[in-house]
Amino acid sequence: MPSIEAVAPLALDASKFQASETASDFAIFIGPQKSFTQTVLRILEDEIEGTLPLRHNSIGDFLNALGQMNMPVRVVVLDAGVCEAMPDEVRRLAAIDAAEFPGQQAPSLVIAYWSAAEAQAVAAQIKDVPEVQGFLPMNQSIDIWLAVLRLFLSGGTHYPRAVQATVVDTATDAAVEPTPVGEEDCKELLTSREIAVMHEVVNGLQNKQIAAKLKVSEHTVKLHIHHIITKLKVSNRTAAAMKFVETHPPGKA
């Protein structure tokens, strides 16, 4: 599976887009085209139904365009380089009242990084910004990258090992990046029904939606997730999803 960094850079012009008929939400990416390529963002649009990705060069460009957006913004992904260069702008973005976002709550605020050193530097700069809901690794496979994005889009958090020591004081419910687990170990730990539930968790579905899709009660789904968290030795569903996706990428039984 190719990694994010293996995809050739192509610009996605935020001023020249057309929302598809199925698009209902924006996923905003702020940073240079070499970080967020057109190819990668088109993969997101194809794989996560109802989400239209859009890139802006700067936080200022995004804020200037905000009033013209006719769909809710579900997530704002900031390139770590932009954060390092303009930490005060990150605070300005985080401080915007939810009323600034038409018909919705303020979106998830996420930092995208390419190296552990880069992530740690940014985490140290903005550790006083509690609105940041996690860090998105850009050097992972497409499947894992999409899985983390689905978690952010559904309101989850993710703090990889690279930044855990820095953010531990301000992110008490952060998802811990899991210790690698062998495929056979994971298969032995989870039942076929638990695996089916986790596929839907990774896809960003909430308990009620999972229950409807699998034709079980919402209580049963909650019980399955409780058992999964216990078996995988993690603290919450987000961390369980991250451990699960390492050995069960989307599309794998």
Domain CATH code at residue 218 = 1.10.10.10
Higher pLDDT among residues 251 and 68, named by residue: 68
Regarding whether 124 and 10 lie in a shared domain, the answer is yes
Residue at a domain's end among 167, 198, 221: 167
SS3 172: coil
- Domain enclosing residue 77, as ranges: 4-167
How many Cβ atoms are within 10 Å of 189's Cβ, its own excluded?
Answer: 18
Residue at a domain's end among 167, 195, 213: 167
For the chain, give the percent of residues with pLDDT over 90: 9
pLDDT at 57: 92
Contact 212/197 with Cβ under 8 angstroms? no
pLDDT at 103: 54
pLDDT, mean of residues 81-86: 88
Gap between the Cα atoms of 62 and 50, Å rounded: 20
Going across the sheet that includes 108-113, the strands are 51-56, 25-30, 73-79, 108-113, 132-137
* CATH code of the domain in which 158 resides: 3.40.50.2300
Q: Between helices 218-232 and 237-247, what is the axis angle to 10°? A: 70
pLDDT at residue 206 greater than cutoff 60: yes
SS3 88: helix
Higher pLDDT among residues 220 and 184, named by residue: 220
Regarding whether 110 and 193 lie in a shared domain, the answer is no
CA distances from 247 to 26, 149, 229 (A): 29, 17, 16
Task: Give this prediction's pTM.
Answer: 0.64
233: region left, alpha or beta (phi > 0 left; psi from -120 to 50 alpha): left
Gap between the Cα atoms of 194 and 77, Å rounded: 31
What letter would DSSP give residue 226? H
What letter would DSSP give residue 107? P
Question: Hunting for tokens 């894992």 — which residue is that?
Answer: 144
pLDDT at 76: 92
Gap between the Cα atoms of 142 and 129, Å rounded: 28
Regarding whether 137 and 93 lie in a shared domain, the answer is yes
Residue 95 lies in a domain: yes
pLDDT in tens, 105-119: 678 889 999 888 888
Regarding whether 188 and 72 lie in a shared domain, the answer is no
Band of pLDDT at residue 56, cut at 50, 70 and 90? very high
Regarding whether 150 and 41 lie in a shared domain, the answer is yes
Band of pLDDT at residue 217, cut at 50, 70 and 90? confident
Beta bridge partners of 219: none
Q: Which amino acid is at 181?
A: V
Contact 42/11 with Cβ under 8 angstroms? no
pLDDT at 154: 77
Residue 178 lies in a domain: no
pLDDT at residue 185 greater than cutoff 80: no
Average pLDDT, the chain: 76
